[in-house]
Structures are given as C-alpha cells and as structure tokens.
Amino acid sequence: MDEEHKQLFRMLNHMAAEVGKGEQNEDSLNESLDSLMAYSEQHFMDEEKIMMQHKIDNRHFLLQRMEHQSFIYDVTRMRSEVLLDDSITDRFEKLVKFVASWLIYHTLRTDQLMARQVEAIVHGQSPEQAYETALHSALDPAVGNKVLDAVLHLWTEAVERNQLLEQKLKRQILQGGTAEN
C-alpha cells in the first residue's frame, strides 16, 4: 500500500511540474490526470480488498468508501466546471492543489487508521476492538499538522468553489438564462 501511495505522489509531482512550467497543452495535462485517476481507482479497489480480507470494522470500511468515492466525484466535477476566466494552467493548478491536499489528508489520516486496524487484527484483536483502539490512538504531531493544513486547504477550496458557482448562477439568472447552461 505504501508503494502505491508513493506512486500516487510521484504521478501528482509529475503533473505539478507540468503545470509549474506553464504547460498549455490541455491534452497532455488531461492525459496525466487521467492516468492519476485510473491509478487512484485501482488503488482504492486494492485497499477495499485488503479491508474485506481482514474483515475490518464496517464503520471504517464505510468511511473509506465514502472518502474514495467523493474524491472521484469532486475531481470529475472540478474538471467539468470550466469557468470563463479560468486559463488551462489555472484550472489544472487548482486540480493539482486539491489532489495534493486530499492525498495528504487521506493517506496520513484515514489510511493510517486502516493500517493500525489491520495490524491489530493480525495480532489477534477483534475488528471492533481494533477500530476503537485506532480511533483513540493519537496522530504523530508532525503528521497532525500536515493533515490540519490539508484539511484547511480542502475546506477553503470548497468555499471558494461554491462562491464561484454562486456568482456564475447569478450571472446566468441576470442574463435571463437558466441554471442548466
């Protein structure tokens, strides 16, 4: 799993480097994002398989599923929301930042919780016990700060995105259009 996480960060770095160079080739940026998303989906399936094999507590399984699915949903939605004043690089820069914050938050917090539970189950704890123990174990403070930064970024990003959408809708209503176009 760690190797897969590293690969995800490598793919993200590759995309960030393209965006950093001011890459204007939309096809190549889309290709990088497509491979990152395909790899993420495969990785989520692998994780879900491991959780099923170890009969991990359903509360954690559902949390993982929810986070995995909302990641795919958010990225898909962000890709389709092309705002008039957004350049290609701006759009991909936002995507890169979103994916980075999400990956940091998810791998350092949620996946760490999963790893601790799998380990406890392997050492003989019941899935319920393992869940409770993991939930009450503290995050390493250095990791905790990174997770907090990532959460703050995700949250600010969501607020900004909603404001932009709201402005877009208002403009459309003022122009006499409908919310659909």
Query: By C-beta, is 6 or 170 nearer to Fe ion?
Result: 6
Query: 142-145 long-range contacts, Cβ below 8 Å, gap at least 24?
Result: 143/108, 143/112
- Least spacing, CB of residue 47 vs Fe ion, in Å: 5
Part of the chain binding Fe ion (CB under 5 A), chosen from 22-30, 109-117, 125-133, 156-164: 109-117
Residues 82, 17 contacting (CB under 8 angstroms): no
Q: How far apart are the first and last CA of the chain?
A: 42
Nearer to Fe ion, 47 or 74 (CB): 47
110-149: contacts with Fe ion (CB under 5 A) = 111
Nearest distance in Å: CB 51, Fe ion: 9
Shortest approach of Fe ion to residue 16 CB, angstroms?
21
Among candidate residues 71, 65, 80, the one with its CA nearest the CA of residue 99? 71
Determine if 47 is a binding residue for Fe ion (CB under 5 A). yes
Q: Where are the beta strands (DSSP E) in 42-133?
A: none
Closest contact distance (angstroms) between CB of 22 and Fe ion is: 32
Min CB(108)–Fe ion separation in Å: 11
Measured from the CB atom, the residue of 59 and 171 that comes closer to Fe ion is 59
37/31 Cα distance (integer angstroms)? 10
Q: Per residue, what are the HEC states of 117-148?
A: HHHHHHCCCCHHHHHHHHHHCCCCHHHHHHHH
Contacts to Fe ion from residues 50-89, by CB under 5 A? 64
Q: Is 9 or 172 the residue whose CB approaches Fe ion more closely?
A: 9
Question: Given the rule CB under 5 A, which of 93-101, 105-113, 124-132, 149-157 is the region that contacts Fe ion?
Answer: 105-113
Ramachandran region of residue 99, left (φ > 0), alpha (ψ -120 to 50) or beta?
Answer: alpha
Minimum CB distance to Fe ion, residue 64 (Å) = 5
How many residues interact with Fe ion (rule CB under 5 A)? 3
Residue ranges binding Fe ion (CB under 5 A): 47, 64, 111
